[in-house]
Amino acid sequence: MKEVRGGKAWLGILRIAYKLLTNDRPKFAALIVGIAFAVFLMVQMTSIFAGILGRASSTVTNIGARVWVMDPAVKTVANNIPMPDYVLDAVRSIDGVKYAVPLYSSGALVRLKSGSYQAVTVVGLDESSLYGRPDLVEGNVEDIYAENAFIAVRDAEFSKLEKPQIGTEFELNDHRGVIIGFAKVTSAGLFGTPTLYTTYKRAIQYIPSSRYTISFILVEPKNNADIQHIQEQVRRIGYLAQTKEEFVGKIARYYMFQTGLGTNILIMTVVSFIVGLSISGQTFYTFILENREKFGAIKAIGAKGHELLVMILFQATFTALTGYGLGVGLCSLLIALARFRLPNYAASITYLNLGIAFIMVVIIAGISSCIGIRKVVNIEPFEIFRG
Amino acid sequence: MAAAAVKAMGLVKWFGEGDARTFAVKDVSFEAHFGEMLFIVGPSGSGKTTLLSMISGILRPDAGEVQVEDRKIWSMTNDEIADFRLNTVGFVFQDYHLFPRLTTAENVAIPLILRRENWDDAIKVAETYLEIVGLKERTGLTPRKLSGGEQQRVAIARAIVGRPDILIFDEPTASLDGDTGRKIVDFIKKEILNDRRCIIIVTHDGRIYEYADRIMQMEDGKIMNTVQGALHEE
Ligand SMILES: Nc1ncnc2c1ncn2[C@@H]1O[C@H](COP(=O)(O)OP(=O)(O)O)[C@@H](O)[C@H]1O
Ligand SMILES: [Mg+2]
């Protein structure tokens, strides 16, 4: 009896498994489409979710401060509750604070050259440090000190400002404004409004404000170990200090659980997983059942239980990976197409999304092949033989 | 006489439990020899397929043992039994059980591939066996494109490609017309039987009884009598 063992010896068996799987084109296509659809749904949903979450905290990411001080009731950047000036002084006097600067952030309405009005977000940076300033792609950041100077962010919303040039003028509450530069940012906003940067002083001068004007206090600690102490001291005066990550997380949780939008997308993601699981689980299971007889014949001829197992696992893995690739490809294509039509389309395929979808696919393939494997490994070749 | 190729000893098989229990095979013992073409005949439901399955390592008997050459197969582990099926027996199933999506050559090569032979070599050997059964021109087709008789011959090629000592056919002519059926059995007897092989054929097709060396008659799970030499239906 000739015994050949080792990896290469499996090739023929895997090739049979592959042919049994793919030679039935319509069924194989149904399998692949099922899994691709499931992956597509999952990646699409989680990408939209990730896109929205990323954008919801875009200001925090773009400003980049390590620690943010705010009113404890603040849930997002957009809805800030202004703080009195003494808070800034108090924060500055905390041990471990290297420096602390005010940040102004508010919505406003500008009147463009054409005479139409456009909602914008105005961010006012601390005069002396310009802490949190964006990188300019055009113009000189020093010009922000010039009269009426504003920097426009060249993000997806930029076109709403009617393609301004350096020197383009607009009106903001009867004040003249002039664009002196263009900034790029790492993260675009969720709210569909262009962003204008100016100095803190000019911002509160141009935009009618309540008694208090500081939206956030940006803190640079002397070192990371001081952060906890700073947070405690800020809490003592009735305010909240959060690290960038904590703040981003808070915003994410807010959108996830306290807005209909986030909750719905979360539910949709779960639903897409369940739908995907049932579609592809069902097709794969049917496939195995329909091939039960074939596996039975192979077993009768002399295949061992573990060889059938390897064949099914190979088929499941191959199907899952092909479907996964197709689903991810389809999703990327669709998001790219959507971006092409809507530059502001909020979806981002992150490695985390891909990873989640991948794990889901592995679970789907695992569960359905587990059920299938039991059906096949327990098969009685006699049933086949009997005819 | 040399050691028996197949020795069945007190084989019993039942199906169902309790009141529903029915005996398909009741205490069957017999021997089959190398160089012999043994027919098992009997009416439908008499236990022929069940008996074949027990002697070929496919169905575990409820009592009794099967000795093939010098090995007691029902004392072996499941993997050993699988190896026994792969290396020592060749079957032709009643409904052929070819893989409709594989080519005839790939179908025939399966036992070799399960023996971990190299794919290309296995296909080559399979092609020579297809030639032996007269299907040289059909190696690249899928079984659906073949007639019933041709499919039967593919199944025969798959059964003999691994050069098994024991060949087992379950109703090989059941779905063939009389002429084709006789031709195939004639071919099996002339080309495949030799003195190192034992062929057991289950049938109730009287038209092929003339090819038997010995005929065992089964009825109701028991062997009623054994007839030496070919038997001709009147
Ligand atoms: N899996 C099974 N479950 C229940 N009864 C069975 C099973 N297999 C065979 N039988 C019964 O065993 C008897 C013998 O069947 P079988 O060996 O197929 O007969 P034959 O091949 O001679 O037609 C029949 O009565 C059949 O109904
Ligand atoms: Mg039968």
Q: Could you tell me which of A91, A32, A37 has the C-alpha nearest to residue A65? A: A91
Cα-based distances in Å from A86 to A147, A231, A238, A239, A291: 28, 17, 12, 12, 76
Partners of A103 in the beta sheet?
Answer: A216
Q: Give me the mean pLDDT over the A345-358 stretch.
A: 78
DSSP code string of B177-232? -HHHHHHHHHHIIIII--TT-EEEEEE--GGGGGG-SEEEEEETTEEEEEEES---
Contact B99 A297 (CB under 8 A): yes
Contact A20 B83 (CB under 8 A): no
User: Which fold is adopted by the domain B36-59+89-228?
Assistant: Rossmann fold (3.40.50)
User: Could you tell me which residue, A56 or A8, shows the higher pLDDT?
Assistant: A56
A→B contacts (Cβ < 8 Å), by residue, are 1-5, 9-13, 15-16, 19-20, 23-24, 293-294, 297-305, 307, 380-382, 384-387
Contact B113 A12 (CB under 8 A): yes
Report the residue among A382, A383, A386 best suited for mutation to probe ligand 1: largest number of ligand atoms under 8 A from its CB: A386
Which ranges in chain A belong to alpha helices (H)?
7-22, 25-56, 58-63, 85-92, 200-206, 227-236, 244-257, 260-290, 292-301, 305-341, 351-377, 381-386
Mean pLDDT (chain A, rounded): 85
> Cα–Cα distance between A364 and A347 in angstroms, integer?
25
**How confident is the model at residue A89, as a pLDDT?**
93
- Nearest ligand, CA B41: 1
Mean pLDDT check: name the lowest of A106-120, A216-230, A232-246, A337-351.
Answer: A337-351
- Please list the ranges in chain B whose pLDDT falls under 70: 1-2, 230-234
Mean pLDDT check: name the lowest of A33-42, A312-321, B22-31, B115-124.
Answer: A33-42
Burial class (CB in 10 A: 0-12, 13-18, 19+), A33: middle
User: Could you tell me which residue, B213 or A371, shows the higher pLDDT?
Assistant: B213
Position A368 pLDDT exceeds 80: no
Torsion of CA A219, A223, A229, A233, to 10 degrees: -20
Which atom of ligand 1 lies nearest, measured to the CA of B13?
12
**How confident is the model at residue B165, as a pLDDT?**
94
**How confident is the model at residue A2, as a pLDDT?**
45
Contact A19 B58 (CB under 8 A): no
Position A1 pLDDT exceeds 50: no
**How confident is the model at residue A227, as a pLDDT?**
92
Report the residue among B12, B15, B26, B218 best suited for mutation to probe ligand 1: largest number of ligand atoms under 8 A from its CB: B15
Q: Is the full-model pTM beyond 0.80?
A: no
The backbone torsions φ and ψ at residue A237, rounded to the nearest 5 degrees and listed phi first, read: -90, 10
Contact B82 A293 (CB under 8 A): no
Which residue ranges make up each domain of chain B? 36-59+89-228
Position A4 pLDDT exceeds 60: no
| Residues of chain B numbered 38-57 and touching chain A (CB < 8 Å) | 49-50, 52-53
Residues 6+ apart with CB under 8 A from A17: A310, A311, A312, A314, A315
User: Could you tell me which residue, B142 or A193, shows the higher pLDDT?
Assistant: B142
Cα-based distances in Å from B51 to A181, B32, B66, B86, B223: 92, 13, 11, 19, 11
DSSP code string of A91-130? HHTSTTEEEEEEEEEEEEEEE-TTS-EEEEEEEEE-TTT-
Q: Which span out of A182-186, A191-195, B122-126 was modeled with the highest average pLDDT?
A: B122-126
B101 touches chain A (CB under 8 A): yes
Any idea which residue has 């309790």 for tokens? B18
Structure-block tokens of residue A161 = 């400002």
CA of B45 to the centre of ligand 1 (A): 6
- SS3 of chain B: helix, strand, coil, percent, to 5: 40, 25, 35
Any idea which residue has 């905290």 for tokens? A57
ipTM of the complex: 0.90
Position A349 pLDDT exceeds 80: no
User: Could you tell me which residue, A98 or A360, shows the higher pLDDT?
Assistant: A98
Mean pLDDT check: name the lowest of A94-103, A142-151, A186-195, A318-327.
Answer: A186-195
Q: How many CB atoms lie within 10 A of CB B58?
A: 24
**Pairing mode of beta strands A97-111, A169-172:** antiparallel
Mutate to test the interface with A, among B11, B48, B54, B58 (most CBs of A within 10 A): B58
Share of chain A above pLDDT 70, in %: 94
Lining ligand 1 with CB less than 6 A are A 386; B 15-16, 24, 42, 44-50
Task: Identify the closest residue of chain A to B174 by CA–CA distance.
Answer: A387
Structure-block tokens of residue A120 = 């914008």
Q: Which span out of A118-127, A149-158, A159-168, A355-364 was modeled with the highest average pLDDT?
A: A118-127
> Cα–Cα distance between A182 and A197 in angstroms, integer?
10
Burial class (CB in 10 A: 0-12, 13-18, 19+), B130: buried
SS3 A242: strand
**How confident is the model at residue A270, as a pLDDT?**
81
* CA distance to partner chain A, nearest, from residue B112 (Å): 9
> Cα–Cα distance between A158 and A105 in angstroms, integer?
18
Q: How many CB atoms lie within 10 A of CB B117?
A: 19
Q: Give me the mean pLDDT over the A7-11 stretch.
A: 74
B113 touches chain A (CB under 8 A): yes
Q: Could you tell me which of B73, B114, B31, B77 has the C-alpha nearest to residue A300? A: B114
**How confident is the model at residue A258, as a pLDDT?**
81
Q: Which residues of A131-170 are buried (b: 16+ CB within 10 A; e: fewer)?
A: bbbbebeebebebbeeebbbbbbbbbbbebbeebeeebeb
**How confident is the model at residue A8, as a pLDDT?**
61
Q: Give me the mean pLDDT over the A289-316 stretch.
A: 88
User: Could you tell me which residue, A353 or A108, shows the higher pLDDT?
Assistant: A108
Residue having the nearest C-alpha atom to atom 7 of ligand 1: B15
**How confident is the model at residue A7, as a pLDDT?**
57
> Cα–Cα distance between B128 and B90 in angstroms, integer?
17
Position A189 pLDDT exceeds 80: no
**How confident is the model at residue B234, as a pLDDT?**
40
User: What strands lie across the sheet with B22-32, from one edge to the other?
Assistant: B22-32, B6-15, B63-68, B71-72
**How confident is the model at residue B9, as a pLDDT?**
96
The backbone torsions φ and ψ at residue B64, rounded to the nearest 5 degrees and listed phi first, read: 95, 180
Contact B99 A20 (CB under 8 A): yes
